[in-house]
Amino acid sequence: MTGRYVVGRVADIPEGGRLLVEVGGREVGVFNIAGSFYGLINRCPHKGAQMCRGNVVAGLSSSGPGRFDYDESTALLMCPWHGWEFDIRTGRSYVDPRTRLRTYQVEVAGGDEVDGLPVAGRLPGPYVAETVEVGVEDDYVVVDLRRARKAAG
Amino acid sequence: MTTALLEGVTRDQVWPGAVIDCDVHANVPSLEALFPYMSKHWVAWCTERGWRGPVSGVNLAYPPGSDRSCRPQWRPADRPPASELGLLQQHVLDPWRVEKAILTCYYAVDSLRHPDWAAALARAVNDWLVAEWLDRDPRLAGTLVIPARDPASMIAEIERVGEHPGFVQVLLPVRHAALWGQRQFHPVFQAMAERGLVAGLHFGGVSTDAPSSTGYSSYYVEEYAAEWQAFTSQVTSLVSEGVFQACPRLRVSVLEGGFAWLPVWGWRMDKEWKGLRREVPWLDRRPMEIIREHLRFSVAPADLGTREQTAKVLEWFGSDDVLMFATDYPHGYDDDIVDLLAAAPPAMRQRIMADTARDWYRL
């Protein structure tokens, strides 16, 4: 067991898309945020919902009533059960900073590097059908369960 | 407050320390009593029509003969209750040896739809309060009334009298044509905050709609006992609309609105905020944190259970600095400040009786 899993091709997860996969007995959501891949375990630390099926939304803050600071550089995953917002890059909850998702290392490996790694079973999320396109790419997306991605902040 | 009478108990037995009463009332005895404080034009406006004053609005909130409106022991034979300073001194200020009392007059100015007349009446009530109450007893600090249907007129009245040193608060009737948190009122709150005036959200008022969200009730008991619903609606509005982000220095007192509902409200609001935050992104912290910073509550009427139950509710506030003593003179209730103090932790008692109100109103 290497802890590294090929979960799909890069082209399977376009920008803004996601893939729900099972790797090593864990469900993981893989998100393509502005060309970079991030993985989140599909279990909300609040009450255990399959949170990777939630909406991905931009950051939104305000300096006062009626003023909206819409921040597309931030990607938040909203848990479908209680609407809590988690930063996909860090796993940090926007509502309660003490609650944090476990994040997993996701990397893009060249086609010649993935031979011999197990390919994870796929659990397509609601948006995956749209993102699967027929294409020929050399690169694959690989989930690595050995290292929790170091969270920023 | 039953103990408000101090019958069969001495003031020092109830509480030996300082006392600040954050909610005592002045009643306008008659429309004529305000004539010296109105221009001739507005006096004629009243007399030409034979208008007797905004009775419907006042009677809606306080039926004149009800013991809730005036405790029998405080009801004078020949005058309306609480209609002159001597009565207040005799019934509360002297026997309680109050350090300060916050005086509020609800005269249903908000029941008038005539924008100029409402503004004139508000001016008359405020000038009457200054001349016949505030200037005559240094223990009093006043609440000014505003023509609550028109934000521009409200601001004009706050600008006119808000800097009189006797005024520390602006009366906001809890039942109102609109929710107080809405954007149109933010400049009004700004005008209060700039002058250090507390917004006093108070029982009463004339709503365009029924007091309940599902129509008119049949009995006064329903209306009276259910008024806290209007308070929660207004507090929810003030918080959700970002009034405290727009006016970071604003202080709001909830007067005659109860307080035991607050922790439960907070649980619900804090929970909803976590999931619905994006809709109101100016709420940068939990609603209960905003409440602890920006709101205080009078203790009359007190929603008291057993001592143990009440102690739990007080613990749920998460702060010793929430409640302010009030007799709510001349209104009558059966609850007892002694019971509340017995349920309160020792550190909270002095805050309830005087310290919180002294700090809050900068007395």
Minimal C-alpha gap between B182 and chain A (Å): 10
Residue B121 CA to residue B226 CA, distance in Å, equals: 29
Residue A52 CA to residue A32 CA, distance in Å, equals: 13
Residues in chain B with CB shorter than 8 Å from the CB of A84 are 274-275
The β-bridge relationship of strands A140-148 and A4-9 is antiparallel
3-state secondary structure of B207: coil
3-state secondary structure of A91: coil
Per-residue CA distances from B306 to A142, B142, B181, B329, B343 (Å) = 62, 34, 34, 25, 9
pLDDT, residue A137, reads 37
- Which residue type is seen at B156? A
In this complex, the residue of A65, A84, A85 whose CB is nearest that of residue B282 is A65
The rounded mean pLDDT for chain B is 93
Widest distance between CA atoms in chain B: 59
User: By CA distance, what is A93's nearest residue in B?
Assistant: B274
Kindly list the structural domains of chain A, giving each domain's residue range(s) and its CATH number in brackets, ordered by start.
Answer: 4-148 (2.102.10.10)
Mean pLDDT of B304-315: 95
Task: Determine, for residues B183 and A84 on separate chains, whether the beta-carbon distance falls below 8 Å.
Answer: no
Q: Is the pLDDT of residue B229 over 90?
A: no
pLDDT per position in chain A (153 positions), as tens?
457 778 888 888 899 999 898 887 888 889 998 888 888 888 888 888 899 999 999 988 888 999 998 989 889 899 898 888 888 888 877 766 666 667 777 777 665 554 444 434 322 222 221 222 222 235 788 887 765 554 443
Minimal C-alpha gap between B294 and chain A (Å): 16
Task: Determine, for residues A95 and B241 on separate chains, whether the beta-carbon distance falls below 8 Å.
Answer: no
pLDDT, residue A95, reads 67
In this complex, the residue of B186, B243, B281 whose CB is nearest that of residue A62 is B281
3-state secondary structure of B89: helix
Minimal C-alpha gap between A103 and chain B (Å): 21
Minimal C-alpha gap between B248 and chain A (Å): 10
Minimum mean pLDDT range among B33-47, B274-288, B333-347: B274-288
Crossing angle of helices B261-276 and B287-294, rounded to 10°: 130
CB pairs < 8 Å spanning A and B = 45
Minimal C-alpha gap between A122 and chain B (Å): 29
**pLDDT per position as a tens digit, B10-24:** 999 999 999 999 999
Q: What is the token pair recorded at A87?
A: 């930063």
> Quick count: other Cβ atoms within 10 Å of Cβ B2?
16
Q: Domain map of chain B by residue range?
A: 2-360
Minimal C-alpha gap between A143 and chain B (Å): 30
Task: Determine, for residues B245 and A64 on separate chains, whether the beta-carbon distance falls below 8 Å.
Answer: yes
pLDDT, residue A134, reads 20
Residue A134 at interface with chain B, using a CB cutoff of 8 Å: no
**pLDDT per position as a tens digit, B124-175:** 999 999 999 999 999 999 999 999 999 999 999 999 999 999 999 999 999 9
Q: Alpha carbon A137 to chain centroid distance?
A: 21
- Substitution target in B240, B243, B278, B282 with the highest count of A β-carbons within 10 Å is B278
- Which residue type is seen at B74? W
- Substitution target in B182, B274, B283 with the highest count of A β-carbons within 10 Å is B274
Q: What is the pTM of this model?
A: 0.87
User: Residue-wise over B242-253: b if at least 16 C-beta within 10 A, else e?
Assistant: bbbbbbeebbbb
pLDDT, residue A135, reads 21
Whether cis (ω within 30° of 0) applies to the bond prior to B263 is: no
- Substitution target in A95, A96, A98, A99 with the highest count of B β-carbons within 10 Å is A95
- Substitution target in A55, A67, A86, A98 with the highest count of B β-carbons within 10 Å is A67
Residues in chain B with CB shorter than 8 Å from the CB of A60 are 278, 281
> Regarding the domain delimited by B2-360, which CATH topology (the fold level of the hierarchy) does it fall under?
TIM Barrel (3.20.20)
Helices (H), chain B: 11-14, 40-49, 55-61, 85-88, 115-132, 151-161, 186-194, 220-225, 227-240, 243-246, 261-276, 287-294, 307-316, 337-343, 346-350, 356-360
Per-residue CA distances from B137 to B101, B166, B325 (Å) = 10, 10, 20
Contact assessment for residue A31 and residue A75, using Cβ atoms and an 8 Å cutoff: yes
Residue A150 at interface with chain B, using a CB cutoff of 8 Å: no
pLDDT, residue B99, reads 98
Residues in chain A with CB shorter than 8 Å from the CB of B282 are 62-65, 67
Residues near A48 by beta carbon (within 8 Å), at least 6 away in sequence? none
